[in-house]
Structure 1
Amino acid sequence: MTDQETDKLLHIRTEGTIEILQSSAHYNRYEATPYSVLDALFDIYPLRSTDHLVDFGCGKGRVPIYSVYRFGNFVTGIDLNGRLLQEAFINLADFRASRKRFRGSIEFEQTTAETYEIQAEQNVFYFFNPFSVEIFKTVIGNVLDSVERDKRPVDIILYYPTTAFVYYLEEQTPFERIEELPIPALSIDNDDERILIYRYE
């Protein structure tokens, strides 16, 4: 199915790339992860209903809604931009209204990623280059602080990762790469078109 067809199936509207003036130059434009990428990711990395996914830079809510649709898990979407989150709340309401049964839970929160307090139950963190590596380092530090307080394995999922993100995780943190998934259908000879999954136990 195309992205438009999957949006229609879920009764949401998440397509497009939007340039919105952010309050910080460290935050990037909105661009939704293609559904084909989410299909490929979750085919090899199925979530459990008890997993709590955090989507940093959730935009209009595609990743949270899609993951709950497939797995009935828990999701928190974080975004700084109020206009995008307004659309995410509309999408969530439309998605809920279209389902006779609704498993899982979705919450959206408008805040900066670096000040968001990681919760003890959260164990999967998704990034599609929503911000600079400086903010990414702070967020990963917050994740590790949370693990120190509440011991649990946690995973980091990077889609289309920059070299700086990869270098930081692999050279300066205890996370270890457990999976690499190229996405050849979307781009030819582009090494960045991939998903990397890291784990810290």
Structure 2
Amino acid sequence: MHMSGFFKRKHDMDTVINDMLRTEISELRKLRHDLIMRKFAFLTAFMGTGAISIVSSAQASLNFSLLLFLVPFVAIAFDFYIFVEDYRIKRAGEFLKRLQNLPDISENQKIEGIWEEFVAENPDRGATFAFSVVTLIYAVSSLLLLIALKYTWWILTIWFIVAVLCEGAILLRHLTLREKLRKPTPNVDAMLARLSSPHEKEEDV
């Protein structure tokens, strides 16, 4: 088997992996978008139902205002899964960027790698913080409604602090994992270096 045949198969394999990762990124972005839309839908429904106790003078058999206590924690649960999908997108993008060091990469793939590097060097951190800001807005809105319903202040204080700490914890975890992606990974880098070596599998048949 000649070297040209080996490199052709290797180029085809690189293309398949590249396309597979980009398909995965596209699907993850769609899933993240769906989670964001569901977050708004669920929170709006919870707050609307919970606020019924304020505008209704009749005593209901169920105290819907208790749903307001769940609003920030439902938002936090959605943020956790949104951050997971966001991290998976960043992880696939980082690996795609490292693939550009392999031989026989097409010009388009090289340009895509440069774009991945540019995006990594100029991240839009506002988008990440926006999820937590929205959650905080919903938490504050729920707090104000619960104050209007005259719930005990110390219960509200503990509830609000716990909610803020939980959101802060998952946000910090997400940012830490994203920063870790930028650090060298000796094992993976060594494997890619071996694939990049022109002496890899030089045998002829």
Q: What band does the TM-score fall into relative to the shorter chain?
A: under 0.3
TM-score for the superposition, normalised by structure 1: 0.24
The structure number with the bigger radius of gyration is 2
TM-score in terms of structure 2 length: 0.24
Structure that is richer in helix per residue = 2
- Larger fraction in strand: 1
